[in-house]
């Protein structure tokens, strides 16, 4: 099987399992797990923020950030395709009492002027905009990367309006490796950043939220409310520390493999290789006779798993468990199906 559905399907390597087994642990709800504390401090330092908070999932890390940034009845603005309004099952509204409004899906190319025009000040009868969220890399657009000039303009327009800026950085590692932008430079642009250790980095579980010490202290309370207070979580944090030490730089290999897949499939008119910026290849099947589900079924029958993200769209994601041979095998199978 070549599993290209997501970079979440990776299994911990022997080295990672050894690090997990050897982890020093304590009760993290008491703040006594040294490995969790070390991971939180490490990730905060990488982004130049004061504090970090380990969370079981990226969704929880995002929602904790939003709950610290937007009071109930306030508004979040984000892209219509954003994970926070697409895949988090209404959490902002259900848990935070947060109203969400979206700009038309723009992937890695949000328009700061449009965002500025959408910001709603507090006033009689209005829903005040309290936070803007962006996604780096942008998942549903096929791993697009928002450039730092755009991010700086978003920072300027939100700061001028007293509105917070959150980054859903589930794959911000990939943007950092692809474009060489220092993580601290990204960190300086946002009030809060959530990152995933369980995507390309290959840890089995875990995300970290970074922000100011004051905000993270509030998020720590909210995490307990959400049921995310874990005990000897150092076993999991050790996997994250191992991933940061061993699996960050190698994301460049995943990007190269995604580019190779795109090159191999470009002749069938389903992807433009120059649009593949990181480890996600979005296939647009609208000019073919195949639907997304039909492609996924045919590929699955030949041992290649892809995900369906729309009626005419499929997604391929490279990761730690996909080597050059797996890419070549997937390319042959998918090309064979597209040629039929």
Ligand X SMILES: *Cc1c(COP(=O)(O)O)cnc(C)c1O
Of 200-229, binders to ligand X (CB under 6 A) are 207
Task: By CB under 6 A, name the one of 135, 191, 254, 312 that touches ligand X.
Answer: 135
> Closest distance between ligand X and the C-beta of residue 10, in Å?
13
Dist. CA 247–CA 253, nearest whole Å: 10
> Closest distance between ligand X and the C-beta of residue 323, in Å?
23
> Closest distance between ligand X and the C-beta of residue 339, in Å?
31
Is omega for the bond preceding 146 within 30 degrees of 0, making it cis? no
Whose tokens are 């993200």? That residue is 309
Query: Of the candidates 337, 240, 234, which has an alpha carbon nearest to the alpha carbon of residue 290?
Result: 337
Is residue 337 a contact partner of residue 293, using CB atoms and an 8 Å limit?
no
Q: Would you tell me how many other CB atoms lie within 10 Å of the CB of residue 235?
A: 20
Dist. CA 287–CA 238, nearest whole Å: 46
> Closest distance between ligand X and the C-beta of residue 83, in Å?
3
Task: By CB under 6 A, name the one of 170, 235, 265, 330 that touches ligand X.
Answer: 170
Task: By CB under 6 A, name the one of 35, 59, 68, 318 that touches ligand X.
Answer: 59
The site map against ligand X for 26-45 (x = CB under 6 A) is --------------------
125 class by beta-carbon count within 10 Å (0-12 exposed, 13-18 middle, 19+ buried): exposed
Q: Which residue is nearest to ligand X (CB)?
A: 58
Query: Of the candidates 243, 66, 273, 240, which has an alpha carbon nearest to the alpha carbon of residue 168?
Result: 66
Of 92-131, binders to ligand X (CB under 6 A) are none
> Closest distance between ligand X and the C-beta of residue 259, in Å?
20
Dist. CA 254–CA 96, nearest whole Å: 36
Q: By CB under 6 A, tell whether 254 contacts ligand X.
A: no
> Closest distance between ligand X and the C-beta of residue 269, in Å?
27
Is residue 272 a contact partner of residue 266, using CB atoms and an 8 Å limit?
yes
Q: By CB under 6 A, tell whether 63 contacts ligand X.
A: no
Query: Of the candidates 272, 282, 285, 325, which has an alpha carbon nearest to the alpha carbon of residue 143?
Result: 282
Dist. CA 263–CA 206, nearest whole Å: 33
Q: By CB under 6 A, tell whether 139 contacts ligand X.
A: yes
Task: By CB under 6 A, name the one of 83, 176, 223, 241 that touches ligand X.
Answer: 83
Total of residues contacting ligand X (CB under 6 A):
12
- Measured from the CB atom, the residue of 57 and 212 that comes closer to ligand X is 57
> Closest distance between ligand X and the C-beta of residue 225, in Å?
17
- Measured from the CB atom, the residue of 151 and 331 that comes closer to ligand X is 151
Phi, psi of 308 (to 5 degrees): -100, 125
Dist. CA 208–CA 260, nearest whole Å: 31
- Measured from the CB atom, the residue of 125 and 227 that comes closer to ligand X is 227
Task: By CB under 6 A, name the one of 58, 112, 200, 204 that touches ligand X.
Answer: 58
Task: By CB under 6 A, name the one of 196, 203, 276, 327 that touches ligand X.
Answer: 196
| Binding region for ligand X (CB under 6 A) | 57-59, 62, 83, 135, 139, 168, 170, 196, 199, 207
């Amino acid at each position: 099987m070549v599993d290209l559905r997501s970079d979440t399907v990776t299994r911990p390597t022997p080295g990672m399992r050894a690090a997990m087994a050897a982890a020093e642990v304590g009760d993290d709800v008491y703040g006594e797990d040294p490995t969790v504390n070390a991971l939180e401090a490490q990730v905060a330092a990488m982004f130049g923020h004061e504090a970090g908070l380990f969370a079981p999932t990226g969704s929880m890390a995002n929602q904790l950030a939003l709950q610290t940034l937007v009071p109930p009845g306030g508004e979040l603005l984000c892209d219509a395709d954003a994970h926070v309004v697409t895949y988090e099952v209404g959490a902002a509204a259900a848990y935070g009492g947060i109203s969400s409004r979206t700009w038309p899906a723009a992937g890695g190319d949000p328009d700061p002027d449009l965002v500025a025009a959408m910001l709603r000040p507090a006033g009689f009868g209005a829903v005040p905009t309290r936070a803007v969220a962006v996604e780096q890399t942008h998942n549903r657009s096929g791993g697009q990367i928002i450039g730092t000039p755009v991010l700086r303009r978003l920072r300027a327009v939100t700061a001028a309006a007293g509105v917070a800026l959150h980054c859903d950085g589930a794959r911000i590692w990939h943007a950092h490796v692809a474009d060489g932008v220092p993580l601290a430079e990204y960190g300086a642009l946002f009030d809060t950043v959530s990152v995933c250790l369980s995507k390309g980095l290959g840890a089995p579980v875990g995300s970290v939220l970074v922000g100011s010490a004051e905000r993270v202290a509030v998020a720590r309370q909210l995490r307990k409310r959400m049921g995310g207070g874990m005990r000897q979580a150092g076993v999991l944090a050790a996997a994250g520390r191992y991933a940061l030490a061993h699996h960050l730089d190698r994301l460049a290999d995943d990007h190269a493999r995604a580019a190779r897949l795109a090159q191999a499939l470009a002749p069938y008119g389903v992807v433009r290789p120059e649009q593949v910026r990181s480890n996600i290849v979005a296939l647009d099947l609208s000019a073919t006779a195949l639907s997304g589900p039909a492609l996924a079924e045919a590929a699955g029958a030949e041992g290649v798993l892809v995900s369906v993200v729309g009626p005419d769209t499929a997604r391929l994601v490279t990761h730690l468990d996909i080597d050059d041979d797996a890419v070549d095998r997937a390319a042959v199978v998918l090309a064979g199906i597209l040629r039929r």
